[in-house]
Every structure is written in C-alpha cells, then in structure tokens.
Structure 1
Amino acid sequence: MRADDYPRVLVVSAAVFDRSTGTGITLSNLFTGWPADRLAQLYAEDRAPGTDAVGTFARFAPRNAPVEYHLFRQWERVRRPLRTVLKGPVDVVAAPSPAGATVAVARDPAPGALRVHLRTQLRAFVDLSPVRVPPDVRRWLRDQRPDVVYTTLGSIRMMRLAVAAAQECRVPLVPHFMDDWPTTLYTGGQVLGLPRLAVRAGFRDVLRHSSYGMGISEAMAREFARRYRLPFAAFGNCVDAADFADPHQPAPDRPGGTPVELVYVGGLHLDRWRSLRQVGAAVGELAARGIPARLTVHAPAADVGRYGGAFAGMPAVHLGRSLASGEVSGVLRRADVLVHVESFAAEHRRYTRYSLSTKIPQYLAAGRPVLAFGPAEVASMAHLAAADAGAVVGHDDPAALAAALGPLCADAELRARLGRRGLAYAERHHRTDRVAARFAQVLREAAGRPAGAAVVPRPGRAAALEGSDVG
C-alpha cells in the first residue's frame, strides 16, 4: 500500500504501543509499517510508548481523572503489604496422589475472599466514575484529523473516552475485542449492580458509533457479527518474519538421558496455574517411568511470586526467569515441546471462550509442537487443533493428558513433523507483513462506512441477540 492509502487512525486504549504487555505487543504488530503521520494514540497506561513505536502519542493522565481514581491509586500502593498481613505466604502441604505417593499441593494462592471483594468493589466504583475530557485534550483529538477511531475498550471509562473521541472528531469507531468482556464485566453485582448497568449503556453507545468491529479470533468475529449484525474481522497477534523458525534447522539435539524440554511462556492468572500444575505432575510421572522430561515455566515475576508456591515439591518443574519480549522467540525455538494451558473453571471458560492468546502465533512460528490442556471450546484450543501441530487435550482428564504427553516426549520424529505443520500454519495465518496489510485494508473500509448500522441491544432483546445479558 502507498502511504496515502492508509487511513488516518486515532487509537484509544488503556495499553500503549510497547512490547511489555499482550495488548501492547498486539497493537505494535498490527500497526507495523503504518505511516507515522497517519497514526496517533490516546492511552491511559502509566508508561511511555516503546522505543520502536511510531506516531503521535498523548496520555490521558491522572489529572484528567476524578478523585476516585486517586483513591484507587492509593489503595494499590497499600494493597501488597495488606495482602501479606492478611494472608501471609502461600502454604504448601503434603497430600496423597491418586497413585498413592505423597505430593506437595499448594493451598489456593488466590487472595482471600474479603480482599478480593474489596478490590473488585473499589475497581468497579472507580470505573463507574465520570470521564472528563478537558478542552486541551479535545483540541488534541481534533488536531489529529482521524478518519476512524480504533479502540480496544475493556472498561466503562474506556468506552466513554472512545465514544467522546469519535464524537469530537465526527468519525466512526472500530472496537477491537480481545475477550468477551461485554457479557462478563461486572456481572458479580458490584456496587449494587450499577457498574453492570453502565456497561450495558456504554456498550450501546459504542455500537451506535461503530461502523465495523474486530475480534481477536475467527470464532469471536463470527459470534459478534451474529450478535450485533455488524461486519467483523478477526485480528490477533502476528509474528515478524525474522522471528519465524528456519524450517530446515534441525530440532535441538538431546543425547540419551537428557530431559526433553517442555516450555511454558505466559501468565499464571485466570487459574492457569492449576492446569499448568497438572501438566507438571504428568511430566513428573513420565520421568518416573523412565522418559526424562522437564517443564520450565517462564512467567511474569509478579505471577511467580503469587503462584510459584503451587509448584513446590515438583522436581520436574523449573521456574525460569521472566523474559523480555525480545527473548521469547529464541527460548521457544530451543524447546522440544511448548505448553499452553487454559482454566477449566466455569467463570474463566466464559471469559476466555473466544480469546486467542497472544503467544499462540509465537508458539506456532517457533516450529515446535504444542501440548495444549484446557477446555476444547476455548478459541485458543480450537486454533491449535486446527493447526494440527501437537496434542490438544480438551477435557480435564489426567489420564488423557498423560496419554498425549507420552508420545510427544518419546518420539523426536513426531515432534519434528508436528513442528513443521505448525510453522506452515503460522506462515499462512500469522506473518506480520500479511496480517498488517489486511488490517490496514479493513480499517480503510471501516473509515468509509457510516456508523450506526449495528443492532443495538435493548432490554428484553439481549437474550435473542446475544445469548447474554448485555442489553
């Protein structure tokens, strides 16, 4: 595309363009090659744009936030010491395994119920507060002269800010959904149910101003197009060609007796630590049967500190260091098997059912087989199954997990064959140059469409339109 073929885009999001968060990485990759004079971002995160970010940037700073925001910031400062006082460190106790051996089991490392309740109530209260867009910010928005406002939303305040930007610039919105927050956000009755009502009202405003939508997976794009009768396209994270494995490079050489290296890269939140612990237990049992294997977990430092105790007493599990974004592709390519997990808990299944993890394209591009353990209906699991690049265990069955893990660890040729399939799939679906070009074309089409074509859910119609309570 020529520079003039790119629409002028204003990005409104909490996350800034950088390489330290999943959303920041996805944004940076999708907007690869965008002319700097045709891209601007208004963001809320308390960090600077990445060194490779291009465009014009402005932060919606705390001075624009109400007093509730500052109260929340003060709470965040005292939250960690308070957690230590109320809960203390994660406890690890001995418990018998089904096989009769004694294993270490961590008591639930999630925060205590009282602190979870207080934090969620306060977060909802802050999110419910009004968004004030000062005259200087409005002037900055107009000065960008966008053709379209692209937004990742995810909260009441971000919905209000994105709609305000679209109204100020008199252009359509393009919301990009990373998970199914419209049906799950504040459904726990926080603050007497007022935040949930605000989500519904704010989401109706978003749809009224939207000309096009994006989902992070094909499954999400299909479902949201059905719900809202708005054109949707699927765009998730993509991978630079330089980070793809060489299809002719042999797999790591593992001399006899050297453990097969399984590697997990990602967060442990949303109860993923529980599923990952089951994988670690299966790896340990495999090693005990004479097939040496080891699971290395690379997670954010905060997650390791919070959930690392769950893996105590598991000799087959190694807690590796946290990785910078530039290190990930090399670590993945040096592994024998890559591991992806999702939670089987009902509340997490609902939240992640249409989400495609940021690391899935990176896993496939590494040319290594993937062991996936999580609910079969979740989009990340379905995506890996479609790639046919490993073993997908879609139900909570330790025996099935062990049966899938055994061949992957015992057969190097099988690993090589599955890795090549994943690499070929990533070439077709996840190369940045191809995905970013299609992304630009969709935004150009969205800029030329009128807003307001979506079906806006109303009370009494939500179940029919969405299969949810968004109305």
Structure 2
Amino acid sequence: MSVLKHKKLLLLSDIPPCTNYTGGLVVAQQCRFLPPERLCAFVVLNPLLTAHPAPDLAGLETLTVEKPREAGTYLYGSLPIGTAGAAIVAAHMRRTRGAEILRMAERFAREQGVDAIWAILEGQVVTGLAAPLAQRLGVPLYTQVWDPLSWWLDAHKVDPVSRFIAHRSFDAAMSKSRACAAASWNMAEEYLARYGVRSVPVIAGHDMALAQAPVPRLHGEDLVIGFAGQLYATDAWESLIAALHRAGWRIGGRNIRLTAIGQHYPPDDLPADRLDYPGWLPQADTIRRLAEQCDVLYCPYSFEKPREDVARLSFPSKLTSYFAAGRPVLVHAPEFSSPARYAREHGAGHVCGSLDPDRVIASLHTIAADGALFERLARNGQTALRRDFTLERMRESFLDVLNT
C-alpha cells in the first residue's frame, strides 16, 4: 500500500524533524513521506539541544516539552549519593515529571484526533511513554528503533534499577506494537523472534541525484582514507591510528592521508600534515568531497563486548553515504555485526574483523593494490545503494510498517 491508511498519526519522539542532527534529518525525511494534514508531533526535547526546523515542515502541528534529565544523577550538589540515590532521583522524576508529560501527550493527541502512534524508542522518557499512551488513547502503536536501548543506557550511565524499568518499558512497547521499523535486517529478524512483532528494516535512504559515479582507481599518488559522521567506535579508530603509525603512514609506497568530516575533531595523536578536517558539511557536500578527494572510506564499528548488541543490531547511516560516494569501503567491524554481514553478503565492502594493526594495514593494502577488487567494491556499493537505500525504498518500507 502506497498511502497512509490512518487519518491522523502522532509522532512521539525526542528529536523533531530538523536539519542539524542526524536523527532529525531522518525523522524529517520520514515526515515528508506522509500527508502533512495527517501528521502531528509530540516532542520531548533535551533543553541542551537547539534543533533547526526543516523549513518545508514548518506547518507540522507540534507540541514540544522539555525532557527531564535522563543521565544518571550520582551527586546531590557536591555530595555523592551513589547508585541508590540515583535510583531514587530517577524514580521521583518518573512519578512527577514523567506522569505530567504523559498527561500532556494524551491531551495533545486527543485534541489532534489521533488514531495511531509512531513512536521512536530512544531514551527512557519516550520509551516509557509509548505503551501507556497507546493504551490510554486506545489506538495502534507503531515503533521505530535505531539502536538497542542498552546503548543509550550505557552512554548515560543510568543506574541499575532505572535500567531494569527502562528495559521493561521497551519490552512493553514492543509487545504492544502492531509493527516495528527496525534499524537493520539483523534487528528485524531478532525482534520478530523475541517479541512476535512484524519488523521491517527502515534504513535512511539517499536521493540518487546525490550519488557520484564510481571511479575505478586511486585519485593520486597518496592513499586518502575518508571518514564522515559521528565516531562511536573509538576502539576500532584507535586500532586504525595505531596501524598507520606502525606503517609509518605509508602503504605500498604511498603516503597515507586522512580526511575526517563531522562536528568533532577526530581523537588521538594525528600528524597535522596528514589530516584534512573541514568540520561538518551538508550531506550533498560530504558525499561530493568523499567522492572527489578520498580513495577508501572507513566505516568502524565497536568490538567492545558491552556493545555487542549495538554491533549486531544497529546499522551505520554513514555506510549509505559511502555507497553514494562511489568509493570502496573498508568495514572495520566484528564479523557478526550488521555492517560486516551486509558488506560480505553483497560484496559491498572489504571487511576487517580484527583490531590487530597488522590486519588493518593488510586490509588497506589489499584494497589499494588490487585494482579489480577496488573497482568491484565501488561498483557493488552503488548497486547496494540503488537496491536498498534509495528514498523510494525507504518510503515503501516505512509505509509498509504504518499500514500493517
């Protein structure tokens, strides 16, 4: 079905459709797939974030409320209160501010005449709202998951009691879901088995007009490694930098250079004359720069045991940008991870499944020295882009979920 069957859909999210955050860009694109008069949004926004609204979505009926603190609170003033104190603080927030936000969301949804909810399960607050709100309104719930909840809870140092409650809320939302928009094929398979909920991979797509034609060779005498986006897999990155230092920043007689595009300067001790850091760039400019100035595009994923769920279930949005750039991709990730599995199944990237610096160097050398492999990886990446990561494919998958 290519049109939305519901009369009015409520987007429940902690990020609005916007132009300056990755999640907000994805939300904005999904909002564009829906008739504007049949969508409204209830956003629980971190007060430290300043979202720049997408101009073409300015007419979206939206109620934004301030998100309460989700990170673990282990100090009362300057006094340490430990995990027990943190759990008490979090419980007080849920009973007071959490209950108030639920009432506000219910009132807004009823005023809007909502007959279904699209909830993006990110963080404790929105995850805790989803099932109770759907129950109060008596409407179907559709969920979307970008990352396992464990990643968020670890990153925000949430206390054990609150973690248990958050996981229970996630399980309740998934069990109540009519369908789930999953972050990867791995996640869709696992959530179907775990919760019995129909799960469809909905992965950020690209306008094919942004795609660059693959060039089947290195650009010049240097080997330029490109990276774009947020860096979460610091263990993989440190392995790459250690490998480059060990190789003296040369592979196969070529000097190695790095181009890193993103909001944050890359970590570690990097020779200034080997790094090009333009900062954050719009998506179209990022893809063009990767295509025109880089030879191999680097996609790291964490090898850390506590992040096994993330590696297995999430999917890096940067990978689709890399495919659009038309350059071969080095996927530096555990063999069981979703990007490694996808790259191997479709021949769309060379996988290095080890943190051993010698293995990293060998992988880079293989891509740079084997002309046929270089060309095949770039070509297969664009084939994958056209098959799985276009805006049309994203739209079809998203509406497939909402029309379940």
Q: TM-score with structure 1 length normalisation?
A: 0.72
What is the alpha-carbon root mean square deviation over aligned residues? 3.7
- Deviation, structure 1 residue 371: 0.7
The CA deviation at 1:169 is: 3.2
Deviation at 1:386, TM superposition (A): 2.3
Residue number among 117, 130, 137 corresponding to 1:169 in the alignment:
137
In the TM superposition, residue 438 of structure 1 has moved relative to its aligned partner by: 2.9
In the TM superposition, residue 420 of structure 1 has moved relative to its aligned partner by: 0.9
Aligned to 1:237: 204
How far apart are the structure 1 equivalents of 2:88 and 2:227? 33
* Count of aligned pairs: 393
The change in CA–CA distance for 1:228 and 1:189 in structure 2 (over 3 A counts) is: same
Q: Are residue 417 (structure 1) and residue 376 (structure 2) matched? A: yes
Equivalent in the alignment of 2:288: 330
* Correspondences of 1:74-113 after superposition (within 5 Å): none
The structure 2 residue matched to 1:294, chosen from 257, 265, 281, is 257
Equivalent residue number for residue 34 of structure 2: 34
- Bigger relative contact order, structure 1 or 2, given CA contacts below 8 A and separation 6+? 1
Alignment partner, residue 222 of structure 2 = 259
C-alpha distance in 2 between matches for 1:244 and 1:6: 34
- Distance in 1 of aligned mates of 2:271 and 2:92: 41
Q: Give the deviation of 1:222 after TM superposition.
A: 0.3
Report how far residue 144 of structure 1 moved.
2.7
Amino acid aligned to 1:11? L
2:181–2:201 CA contact under 8 A, matched in 1: yes
Between 218-227 and 233-242, the greater mean CA deviation after superposition: 233-242
| 2:279 aligns with one of 288, 307, 321 | 321
Which entry has the higher C-alpha Rg, 1 or 2? 1
Give the secondary structure class of the aligned counterpart of 2:227: strand
Partner of 1:151: 119
Equivalent residue, structure 1, for 2:53: 49
The residue identity in structure 1 corresponding to 2:263 is: P
Distance 1:400 1:197, change over 3 A: closer
Q: 1:17 to 1:118 in 2, by over 3 A?
A: farther
Q: Is 1:399 the counterpart of 2:355 in the alignment?
A: no
Cα offset, 1:196, TM superposition: 2.5
- What does residue 148 of structure 2 align with? 180
Secondary structure of the residue aligned to 1:52 is: helix
Once residues 203 and 177 of structure 1 are traced to their aligned partners in structure 2, the CA distance between those partners, rounded to angstroms, is: 10
Contact 2:175-2:196 at 8 Å conserved across structures: no
Correspondence 1:268-307 to 2 at 5 A: 268-269=231-232, 272-283=233-244, 285=247, 287=250, 290-301=253-264, 304=265
Of all paired residues, the percent bearing the same amino acid is 22
Structure 2 partner of 1:210: 177
Q: CA deviation at 1:379?
A: 1.0
Structure 2: distance between partners of 1:69 and 1:417? 45
The 1:291/1:50 distance shift into structure 2, 3 A limit, reads same
Residues in 1 aligned to 2:108 and 2:364: alpha-carbon distance in whole angstroms: 55
Secondary structure, in 3 states, of the residue corresponding to 1:44? strand
Q: Structure 2: 5+ residue runs without aligned partners?
A: none
Question: How far did residue 384 of structure 1 move?
Answer: 2.1
The TM-score normalised by the length of structure 2 is 0.83
Q: Per-residue CA shift, 1:169-220, capped at 9, x if unaligned? A: 32111121112216984699954x3202322442343245321222100001
1:98-140 CA-to-partner distances (Å, cap 9, x unmatched) read: xxxxxxxxxxxxxxxx9x9999879966875541137665332
| CA displacement at 1:240 relative to structure 2 | 1.4
Aligned to 1:22: 22
Question: Aligned pair 1:346/2:313, yes or no?
Answer: no
CA gap 1:315/1:217 in 2 versus in 1, 3 angstroms: same
Q: State how far apart, in whole Å, the 2-side matches of 1:265 and 1:187 are.
A: 21
Deviation by residue 1:358-383 (Cα, 9 ceiling, x = unmatched): 11112112221101112111112222
Cα distance in 2 between the residues matched to 1:214 and 1:298: 28
Larger relative strand fraction: 2
Deviations 1:287-319, CA, capped at 9 Å, x for gaps: 165222212222323xx2xx63x1344754444
C-alpha separation between the residues in 1 aligned to 2:193 and 2:178?
Answer: 15
Q: Distance in 1 between matches of 2:154 and 2:142?
A: 23
Measured in 2, the distance between the counterparts of 1:354 and 1:136 equals: 33
Residue 57 of structure 2 aligns to a residue whose secondary structure is coil
Q: 1:47-81 deviations in whole A, cap 9, x for unaligned? A: 3532233662424323xx66x68998x99xx9xxx
Structure 2 CA distance for aligned equivalents of residues 230 and 71 of structure 1: 31
Q: Is the 8 A contact 2:300 2:332 kept in 1?
A: yes
CA distance in 2, matches of 1:71, 1:228: 28
Q: CA deviation at 1:2?
A: 6.7
